Structure 1
Amino acid sequence: MTILSECHHKTGGDPRTLADYVALRNEMNKLIHPARPDVNWQQAEKFCLSLFEQNGTELQTAAWYTLARTHLSGLTGLNEGLSLMNSLVTRHWGNLWPQQVPVRMEILATLSKRLKQALRSWPLTSADLSQLNQAREHLLVLDETLRRLELTPVSQLDTLRSHINSATVRLGNSDKIGEKPVTATAEAETPASGNPSEAAGGVKRAHEPEPLLETVKGSPPPLNPWKPFAGGMATMLLLAGILAGGWLAMHQSDPAQEPVAVTLSPLPATRSVDRRLHPTSETDIRQTQQQLEQLLQLKPDWTLSYGDSLVQQALRLSPEEGKALAHQWQQQKDASALAPESLTGWHQGVTQLEQLAKRLNALNEQKGKYMTVSELKSAIFAITQSLNRTVPVEEQLRQLSVTPAEQSSNAVRQRQVEQHLQQLIASYAALKQTPTE
C-alpha cells in the first residue's frame, strides 16, 4: 500500500467538483447516517490518495485520510495522518482550502471527535507508549501553531491531546504495577491544561531618587540678589524662543499631506473608567448623545465600506503601490465572507421538506401507495444535512442563552456567533457591490 509520506504532495484547491471527492464524501457521510452503515475505510483511503494525486492536498481530504489511516493501521496510521495535518497547518495555512477559518475549525473539531471515539475502543498496552508519545508531540505542534493564530479553543484538539495524555499516564502506571492492559473508555475527561497563570508578584515600587545632601562649609559672601535673577530670566527667555522655533519647524504640516493624515488618524477612544474624570458639563452630555445617535445610524457593513474608501484613496495617491494593498484587502474580504454552499443550506433543506410533505400528501390520495421507513429515513437525513450545513444565527443565540456562563463551551459559542455575524456582514457587503443587471 502506498503511504502518503512516501509521496510528494502539494496543496490543492476546491475538490468538490471531482468524482472521487463526491464518492469519498458519500462514504464518510455514513458516520452520521441514522441507519449506521459500515464505512469502507480501505475504499475511503483509496479515494483520498487519488484526490491527492489529482488535485493536491487540502484540509478536508487530509482529515478524512487521517481518520481512514487510523481505522486501518491504529496508532501508526494516526501518527501518519497527524504528521500530514501538521505539515498543512504549520506550512500552508495561508493558502489552504477551504479558505474560511470557521470551516477549517469545524473540520479540525470533527476530526478530534472522531479520533477520540476510535481511541476509546482500543485496548492499549505499554507497547503503545512510544506511538502515543509521538501522537502527543504531533498534537503539541498543532496546538502551538493554532495558539499563535488564536484558534486553539475553537479547534477542540486540546481535548484529544488531554485524552492521549491520560492514556499515557495510565499505561505508565499500569506498567509499573503490572496491571492488565486498559482501554481509554475508563478515562474521566479533563480539560486540556492551558498555560499556567503567572503568580501574582508584589507591586513594583517606583524608583525614588535619593535626597541630595548639601554640606554647607561656610557662609558665602553677600551677593546682590537682582543680578542672578536677571541673568536667569534672560537665559530662560532665550531657551524658550529656541525651543518654540524648533517645535514649530518640526510640527509644521505639509498642506499636501494634511488631508490624508486626517483620514488615517486613529479612531477616537473613550477614557478609562478607572481614571478620575472632571465633572461632565451639559455640553459634554449633549455631544455624547449626538455621537450615540450617529453610531446607531451606521450601517452594519460600515467598517468594510470605510476600508474600501481607504483603499480607493491609496490607489489615487500611489497607483502602483496601492494595487498590492487593494489585492490584499479584497482577499481578506473574500476570506471573511460565507462560503457559497452556506448560503443555500437552509433554503435547500426547506425545499426538500416541502417536497417530502407533497409526496406524503400525494400518497394519502392514492390507495395502495406507501413510503417505506427506509425511504423516509433517507429523506429526513438529507433534509437534516441541508439544515445543519449552516446553523442560523438565531439558533446560535438561543444555544448561547441557555449555556451557563461558567462553562468552557460558552466562550467557544460566543466566538462562533461573532464569526458568523462577521461572515454575514461581509457577504452582505459583497452583494451590495455586485452590479445589478
Structure 2
Amino acid sequence: MSVLSEMQLRPGADPSKQAPYIALGEELAKLSHPACPDVNWQWVEYQCLELFQENGADLQSAAALALARSHVHGLPGMEQGLALVTALLSQSWPQLWPAALSARIQILTWLFAQLQPLVRRLELLGSDLPLLERVGSGLAGLGELLGRHAQVPLLSLEALQAQLASLARRLEREAVPAEVAPFSLPAALPASAPATPPRPAASPSVLVLKLDNPPPASQAQERRRGPRLLWLVLLLILLAGLSLGSFWVWHAARQDRDEQARVADPVYLDSLLLFAPGSAELKPESTKVLIDGLMHIKAQPDWLIVVSGHSDNSGNERQNLALSQARAAAVRDWMQRMGDIPQRCFVVQGLGASQPIASNDSEQGRSANRRVDVRLVPAPGACSGEAGAGMGR
C-alpha cells in the first residue's frame, strides 16, 4: 500500500481522452470476451496509477485499481482498494467524475459483481479473520455512505457482503476457539415481520355531545338557551366537515403511496423469451414481450430505471457475469430506442448467479434464474439535468 499512501490523490476531470484510460478500457474489455483471455492485472494497476498522476482520480479508474489490487494482492489488496474508493466518494462526492448518479452506481455495481468470483477463489486461513472483518466493516461503511448520497440499493454489494459473512462463518468453525474475535457484518433482516404495535381506537367521524335534560325553565331561560343550541349545531357541522376533509386527505395520500408501490414493483423478463441460448442479441419476436412487460416503466425525475441481468450457476462464472451484463444492456438499449430515454436515467447491472429466485438444482429453477428484471428506484436528483458517462457498459 506504500505507493497509494504516498500519492496525494486529487479529484480528476473527464479522463476519456487520456491514453492510460483508453488502454484501461481495452484491457478490461477482456472480462466480457467470450474466450475469457487473461487480464494483466499488474499492468492495469500501473495504468491506473499513471492516470491518477496525470489527470487525478476518477471513480471508474479507482474501481479498476481496487479490482486490480484484489487480483494481485488478494484480501489485503481488496481492503486497500475499497478504502480508496470509499475515501474518494466521501471526500470528493460533488466534484468526482463521472457526475451522473446512474453512472456511479453502474461502476460500483460492476466492481462488486467482479469481486464475488474472486472471493470464491481465495484460499484463507483462520488467521485471516481479522482482515476479513476489516473488509466487511469497510463494505458496511461504504454501503452507509452510498445510502446517504444515492439511496439506491446495490444488490451486488449486498451479495458481496453476504458472501464475506458466509466465508467468515466457515473460517470461524475451522479456527481455534477464542483466538479470533467473532466476525460481524450487517446481517440480513429477519424473515419474520416485527410485531405490529397496537392501533389506537379510531376517532369517531362525528363528535356527539350528550346533554342532560334541563329542568323546566322560564321563557327567558329558553331564549338564552337558543343561541347555545345554535353554536352547538355549528360546532357539530364543523367537526363533521373537518373529519370528512381529513378522510379525503388520508385517502388521497394512501392512493399516492399505493401507486408508487405499484410502479416500483420490478418487472421480470424471461431470458428464454428474449435471447437465444448464450446470446445477448434480442430475438425479433421479443418486441411484444418487452412492450407488454415494460409498458408501465417510464422515465421521470428523481427515479432511476435499474436494469439487472441474471444467470443460473451453470457454466463459467466469468462468462455468466459478462452475459448477464450484456443482456441487461440490450434491454436498456431497446428502452432507449423506443422511449427516447436519456442514458443518465438508467443503471445497468450484470449480477450473474448472485441473486437466484429459485433453486439451481432443477432445470425449471435454472430457467427462472436466467432473467432480466427492470425496476424504478427513487433517487433524488436522478434522471434530470446534464450527466457524464462511465467507461464501457
CA gap 1:269/1:93 in 2 versus in 1, 3 angstroms: farther
Residues 396 and 237 (structure 1 numbering): CA distance in 2 closer, same or farther, change over 3 Å? closer
Partner AA of 1:230 in structure 2: R
Aligned length: 273
Corresponding position of 1:93: 93
Q: Residues 226 and 412 of structure 1: is their aligned pair in 2 closer, same or farther, counting only changes over 3 Å? A: farther
CA shift in 2, pair 1:44/1:176, >3 Å = same
2:373 corresponds, among 413, 418, 423, to: 413
What letter matches 2:220 in structure 1? K
Note if contact 1:393-1:417 (Cα within 8 Å) is conserved in structure 2: no
**What residue in structure 2 maps to residue 280 of structure 1?**
none
Partner in structure 2 of residue 115 of structure 1 = 115
Q: Return 80-89 or 156-165, whichever deviates more.
A: 80-89
Compare CA radii of gyration and give the structure with the larger one. Answer: 1
Mapped partners of 2:370, 2:227: distance in 1:
68
Q: 1:272 to 1:112 in 2, by over 3 A?
A: closer
- 1:227 maps to 220
The offset of 1:388, in angstroms, is 7.0
Question: What fraction of aligned residue pairs are identical, expressed as a percent?
Answer: 31
Shift of 1:128: 0.7
Distance 1:7 1:107 in 2: 23
Determine which structure has the larger helix proportion and give its number: 1
Q: Aligned residue for 2:40?
A: 40
Change (3 A) 1:137 1:24: same
Q: Which amino acid aligns with 1:6?
A: E
CA distance in 1, matches of 2:252, 2:370: 28
Measure, in 1, the Cα distance between the counterparts of 2:166 and 2:377.
32
1:204 and 2:226 aligned: no
SS in 1 for 2:99: coil
Matched residue SS, 2:57:
coil
Q: Alignment partner of 1:414: what SS?
A: strand
Matches for 1:222-261 after TM superposition, within 5 Å: 224-234=217-227
Is the contact made by 1:9 and 1:56 (CA closer than 8 Å) also made in structure 2?
A: yes
Larger RCO (CA under 8 A, 6+ residues apart): 2
The alpha-carbon deviation at position 63 of structure 1 amounts to: 0.6
Secondary structure of the equivalent of 1:17?
Answer: coil
* Residue-by-residue CA offset, 1:10-62 (whole Å, 9 max, x unaligned): 22221110011111222222223334333222221121112122222221101
Is residue 102–residue 304 contact of structure 2 (8 Å, CA) maintained in 1? no
Contact in 1 for aligned 2:13/2:97 (Cα 8 Å)? yes
Please give the root-mean-square deviation of Cα atoms over the aligned residues, in Å.
5.1
Aligned partner of 1:231: which letter?
Answer: R
Q: Does 1:165 align with 2:165?
A: yes
What's 2:241 paired with?
none
Measured after TM superposition, the shift of residue 272 of structure 1 is 4.7
1:122 is displaced (CA, Å) by 1.9
SS in 1 for 2:375: helix
User: Cα offset for 1:84?
Assistant: 1.4
Residue type at the aligned position of 1:150: Q
For 1:94 and 1:85, locate their aligned partners in 2 and report how far apart those are by CA, in whole Å.
Answer: 14
One-letter identity of the residue aligned with 2:53: E
Between structures 1 and 2, the one with greater strand share: 2
In 2: Cα distance, 1:411 partner to 1:36 partner: 22
SS in 2 for 1:391: helix
Aligned to 2:280: none
Matched, 1:194 2:188: yes
Alpha-carbon distance between aligned partners in 1 of 2:89 and 2:30, rounded to the nearest angstrom = 27
Counterpart-to-counterpart distance in 1, 2:224 and 2:156: 74
In the TM superposition, residue 303 of structure 1 has moved relative to its aligned partner by: 9.5
Distance 1:204 1:89 in 2: 43
Instruction: Tell me what 1:282 maps to.
Output: none
Name the structure 2 match of 1:188.
Answer: none
Distance 2:195 2:114 in 1: 40
**Counterpart position of 2:176:** 176
Corresponding position of 1:13: 13
Q: Deviations over 1:202-258 (max 9, x none)?
A: 5323399xxxxxxx9xxxx976244344224446779999xxxxxxxxxxxxxxxxx
Matched, 1:391 2:359: no
How many Å apart are 1:90 and its aligned residue?
A: 3.5
Q: Which deviates the most, 36-45 or 134-143?
A: 36-45
Q: Is the 8 A contact 1:78 1:135 kept in 2?
A: yes
Matched residues in 2 for 1:34 and 1:392: separation?
Answer: 20
Q: How far apart in 2 are the matches of 1:69 and 1:271? A: 50
**Using the alignment, how far apart are the partners of 2:152 and 2:254 within structure 1?**
30
Any conservation in 2 of the 1:109–1:157 contact (CA below 8 Å)?
A: yes
Shift of residue 121, structure 1, vs aligned partner: 1.6
Q: 1:58 to 1:240 in 2, by over 3 A?
A: farther
2:43 counterpart letter in structure 1: Q
Maintained 8 Å contact 1:5/1:80: no
Kindly state the Cα deviation for residue 104 of structure 1 after the two structures are TM-superposed.
2.2
| TM-score, length basis structure 2 | 0.55
Change (3 A) 1:228 1:141: farther
Q: Alpha carbons of 1:163 and 1:55: their partners in 2 closer, same or farther (altered >3 Å)? A: same
TM-score, normalization: structure 1? 0.50
CA distance, structure 2, for counterparts of residue 389 and residue 238 of structure 1: 67
Does the aligned pair in 1 maintain the 2:132–2:168 contact within 8 Å? yes
Structure 1 counterpart of 2:128, one-letter code: D
- Residue 134 of structure 1 and its aligned partner are, at CA, apart by 0.3
- Decide whether aligned partners of structure 1 residues 39 and 409 sit closer, same or farther in structure 2, where only a CA change above 3 A counts: same
The one-letter code sitting in structure 2 at the alignment partner of 1:53 is Q
Report if aligned partners of 2:136, 2:161 keep a CA contact under 8 Å in 1. yes
Task: Tell me if structure 2 keeps the 8 A contact 1:106–1:155.
Answer: no
| Deviation for aligned residue 1:418 | 10
Structure 2, unmatched stretches of 5+, are 179-185, 204-211, 235-248, 257-295, 306-322, 337-354, 359-367, 388-393
Is the Cα contact below 8 Å between 1:11 and 1:56 reproduced in 2?
A: yes
